[in-house]
Amino acid sequence: MHPILFKIPIFGGLTIHTYGALVAFGFLMGIFFITREAKRLGEDPARALDLVFWIIIAALVGSRAYYILTEEFDALLSDPLTFFKIWRGGLVFQGGVIGAFIVGILLVRYHKLSMWRYMDLFAPAIPLGHFFGRLGCFMTGCCFGRPAPFESWYAVTFPVNIHSFAPQGIPLYPTQLMEAFGELLIFAGLFIFRKHKRFEGQVMAIYLTAYAVLRLVVEYFRDDRNRVLVFDNFSAAQIVGIVMVSCATGIWLWNRKRNKVENL
């Protein structure tokens, strides 16, 4: 792990955190993909970039709000500036998805664009950017797994580091790397499938389902200390995952039916 990427000796010492750097790089890779994909589909790249700008802001606000409300609400009450300290970690991806979806849909409808077409355009960029974000989690030690059997070849042991969020000196399930690898597989699958889809909205439906399944699996290996539980058995992330699958099913059925009607 390497929580601090480097320090710049200006303004009294400017610290560049690895988590923030990788999250930013993930956004850049997502933007690069979206602009290339917009050109391929004959859409206006400038319009796509305009949407990306506001969606990224919505995603950051949503992911931070989700984390603060579920993990550090008391800290927010004592220090409102806690909300803005994202360099320390504390961005929940599912909250970002919710924020991005709400703002994205409003913007697409405002500009009178094809909502489902743009959802498919954006879908592969999400796991691509998320892949780098999870690498940032690993480098910082957040989103860590529960203790793994000793001497397991797959376990990871975080060294002693005052900037780490993870328990140190004991083998843990490498949940950050598990999810990062899963995100990369999802991106590869969507990247290949996007040219073979049968109707608009299909790529996004597949992404939502694939991510929800991945998160439900990884969540089983995550450390559950201080996790918000619903009905004393399910984490908030698992509940959101189930909702995502339900939404994906609705998107699939609605657009498949609409496609059949249009082709009659």
pLDDT value for 85: 64
pLDDT value for 249: 94
Contacts of 78 by beta carbon, 8 Å cutoff, 6+ apart: none
Least confident of 157-161, 210-214, 244-248: 157-161
Query: Please, which pLDDT band fits residue 263 given cuts at 50, 70 and 90?
Result: low
Query: Please, which pLDDT band fits residue 206 given cuts at 50, 70 and 90?
Result: very high
pLDDT value for 21: 87
Q: Cα separations (Å) of 201 from 13, 118, 192, 198, 256?
A: 47, 8, 15, 9, 9
Contact present, 92 and 66 (Cβ < 8 Å): yes
Contacts of 31 by beta carbon, 8 Å cutoff, 6+ apart: 49, 52, 125
Query: Please, which pLDDT band fits residue 251 given cuts at 50, 70 and 90?
Result: very high
Percent of the chain with pLDDT over 90: 48
pLDDT value for 211: 94
Contact present, 213 and 178 (Cβ < 8 Å): no
Mean pLDDT of the chain: 85
Residue 69 has pLDDT above 80, yes or no: no
pLDDT value for 148: 93
Least confident of 34-38, 92-96, 157-161, 209-213: 92-96
Query: Please, which pLDDT band fits residue 59 given cuts at 50, 70 and 90?
Result: confident
Tokens of 175: 């949940």
Length of the chain measured in residues: 264
Contacts of 90 by beta carbon, 8 Å cutoff, 6+ apart: 64, 67, 68, 71, 72, 142
Q: For the residues 120-135, what does the mean pLDDT come to?
A: 95
Q: What is the DSSP string of 165-184?
A: -S--SSEE--HHHHHHHHHH
Q: Which residue's entry shows tokens 């319009």?
A: 47
Least confident of 84-93, 109-118, 194-203, 248-257: 84-93
- Selected residue with higher pLDDT from 63 and 252: 252
- Selected residue with higher pLDDT from 263 and 222: 222
Residue 252 has pLDDT above 90, yes or no: yes
> pLDDT digits over 79-108, tens only?
676 676 665 556 677 788 888 889 999 999
**pTM of the predicted structure, to 2 decimals:** 0.85
